[in-house]
With several copies, the nearest count.
Chain A
Amino acid sequence: MSIDDKNYNLSVELDKIHLRNPTMLASGILGISQSIFERLYNENIGAVVTKSISVDPMKGYPNPTVIPLGCGSYLNAVGLSNPGLHAFSKELSQNKNIPIIISLVGSSEKEFSKMVKVFDSLNILGYEINLSCPHVSKMGMEVGDDPEAVSKIVSTVRMNTNKPISVKVGVGSVDVVELSRIAIDAGANMITAINTLRAMSIDVETMMPILSNRIGGLSGSAIKPIGIRCVYEISKKLQVPVIGCGGVSSWQDVIEYMIAGASAVQIGSVLGSRGPRIFNKITQDLKKYVEKKRVANISEIIGIAHRY
């Protein structure tokens, strides 16, 4: 792809991972189809993170599962629906050059080791462990809120792979920096911050909760200032790459996350209004930015805000 050469100055390094640019697909967004991953790659994305995969297929919650709230914010409780380990490893089996990170979710160490054993032979960059889904019991946040479980799960994944591991944290009842530290100590190579925040929306006319699960996760523009804060705090305290996530919808948002300390950013909700093209748009805009600012490589700006 000639895109790569032209974007030389947008490349970033995440542990052992080299990305042609810092944009990534956030987990759970369009994340179950190899054909879609290929399309996103043609839209110049840096890497894709898959939907969080569990050992067994999960149907998730009934609809409504996704609610647009206006102003670029969304509420969702899809309930981690996913095709499961086997169907998904088949889905990715033909992957050659798409930079894919598999997101994993589960409730026991055994489940995680089972998945990594299967996925590790695929052509993938690494893993993201989802410890922060705010609306599924016994998975996600309930694990993330239990420091001991986090440590055990991360160590288990570490023991079963040499590929880089990111742990995805959220705003739960363990401090985000503390949780990140536990994950890193247990063998994670980097941190993704943040997942959605536990939230709810009730219809005033019918007086009923809208999501079938009642409570879900808030994403999009609303959470950007919280994501920026988390990335800033984590990157200030820990010497590992941080992947920023939450409310990115433009090149300015990417830069804001990077200045705050992110080495790359994940993009999700904005696809609801801008479609997959947004990746190409943002990448082109970033290119203009580094050229205008005469930045030799975009990674130079990572964490600059810590100086002030």
Chain B
Amino acid sequence: MPTDIDKRRIVQIEEIISETPTVKTLVFKDRLSYFAKPGQFLMIWIPRIEEIPMSVMINSKEGYAAVTIRKFGVGSTALFDRKKGDLIGLRGPYGNRFILRKKYRKILIIGGGTGLVPLLRLVSFASKVKVRSTIVIGAKTKAEVFFEKVTRNIIRGNNSSLLVCTDDGSYGIKGTTVTLMGKLVRDESFDCVYTCGPELMMKAVLDISNQNSIPVQASLERYMKCGIGICGSCCLDSSLVCQDGTVFDGRQLSKMLDFGFSYRDKDGQKIHYK
């Protein structure tokens, strides 16, 4: 039976944080989202325009949560353009979550762009249970780096480290998250790698993890209509990203033929990643 989480809540945007010229965080009050697990997502309704899936961003205020949007097509741009006080609808949080095993002491986080959203919720949780995180934030260039300060606040006093890299070297370490990860796993040992970001990046993270026999978990994205396992638009091999995911582990990912290879468009046709 559909439960509380299926009930549409209409919330007011109470705060807007500009992260980069094309990325904003919208803060709202919603108890269910506040308690979202890392990896879970909301279906965000922009009335009369679109409904799109968005990972649940953490917010420091009790009872509050947020979404961080990259301006892209019709829906995300409409959300990006909302003003303080505007109303949006939510249902969810849906999906499974990143799993942090009791025995883990040190984890590696590889995030690209808004893929950091579910990862920060994980880092925050890891911090609370005294698990050390090494967080790698990647971006093309300096102007596209965001969440640096938020991340530092989360890990403050926890012996964790944050590494920022840019493809063009305009900020932080020069290089991609993937090259940086290669170095990190050679020098240090991690109990698990967690990743979210562009699929080809995640595919590379999977490969490196497999080569180094490190457990890995990735939060994936697919086109979603229902978000609850009915419409089939999010199917990835025999999995439904909305219901079986968004988080899959290395064993599952390694068996998937479509992961890093193809996704389905709005009409359900398969498109290959270039």
Contact = CB atoms under 8 A, between A and B. Distances in A.
Interface of A: 28-33, 35-36, 38-39, 51, 57-60, 62-72, 74, 76, 78, 81-84, 87, 203, 205-206, 208-210, 212, 268-269, 271-273, 275-276, 308
B120 interface: no
Interface in B77-122: 87, 89, 91
30 contacts: A29-B232, A30-B235, A32-B268, A36-B240, A57-B268, A62-B50, A63-B52, A64-B43, A66-B230, A68-B228, A69-B2, A70-B6, A72-B1, A74-B230, A76-B231, A78-B231, A81-B266, A81-B268, A84-B267, A203-B47, A203-B89, A205-B87, A206-B47, A210-B8, A210-B45, A210-B89, A271-B229, A272-B2, A273-B1, A276-B229
A84 B231 contact: no
Contacts of B274: none
Given A32-B264, A63-B51, A203 B10 contact: yes
Interface of B: 1-3, 6-8, 10, 43, 45, 47-52, 74-75, 87, 89, 91, 225-233, 235, 237-238, 240, 243-244, 264, 266-270
Contacts of B6: 68, 70
Contacts, number: 135
Interface centre among B7, B48, B50, B264 (most CB of A within 10 A): B48
B225 A66 contact: yes
Given A62-B74, A64-B50, A81-B268, 16 more contacts: A29-B232, A32-B233, A33-B235, A36-B240, A57-B269, A58-B267, A59-B266, A63-B75, A66-B227, A66-B231, A70-B7, A203-B10, A203-B89, A210-B45, A269-B230, A272-B229
**Most A Cβ at <10 Å: residue of B6, B8, B230, B231:** B230
A228 B40 CA distance: 33
B237 to A, nearest CB: 5
A29 B51 contact: no
Contact of B47 (A65, A72, A208): A208
Contacts of B3: 273
B164 to A, nearest CB: 34
B91 A78 contact: no
A30 B231 contact: yes
B232 A64 contact: no
Contacts of A68: 2, 6, 91, 228
Contacts of B45: 64, 210
A64 B229 contact: no
Contacts of B52: 63
B48 A272 contact: no
Max chain A Cβ within 10 angstroms of own Cβ: one of B45, B50, B89, B226: B226
By secondary structure, the A interface counts as: loop
Contact of A33 (B47, B232, B266): B232
Contacts of B91: 68
A208 B48 contact: yes
Contacts of B269: 57, 83-84, 87
Contact of A51 (B8, B48, B74, B268): B268
B266 A35 contact: no
A63 B43 CA distance: 10
A260 B22 CA distance: 37
A29 B267 contact: no
B2 A70 contact: yes
Contacts of B226: 65-66, 76, 272
Contacts of A71: 1-2
Given A273-B1, A273-B2, A82 B47 contact: no
Contact of B231 (A29, A212, A308): A29
A203 B47 CA distance: 9
B2 A35 contact: no
A71 B2 CA distance: 6
A172 B148 CA distance: 57
Contacts of B240: 30, 36, 275
B205 to A, nearest CB: 23
A115 to B, nearest CB: 16
A36 B2 contact: no
Contacts of A29: 230-232
Contacts of A74: 230
A212 B266 CA distance: 15
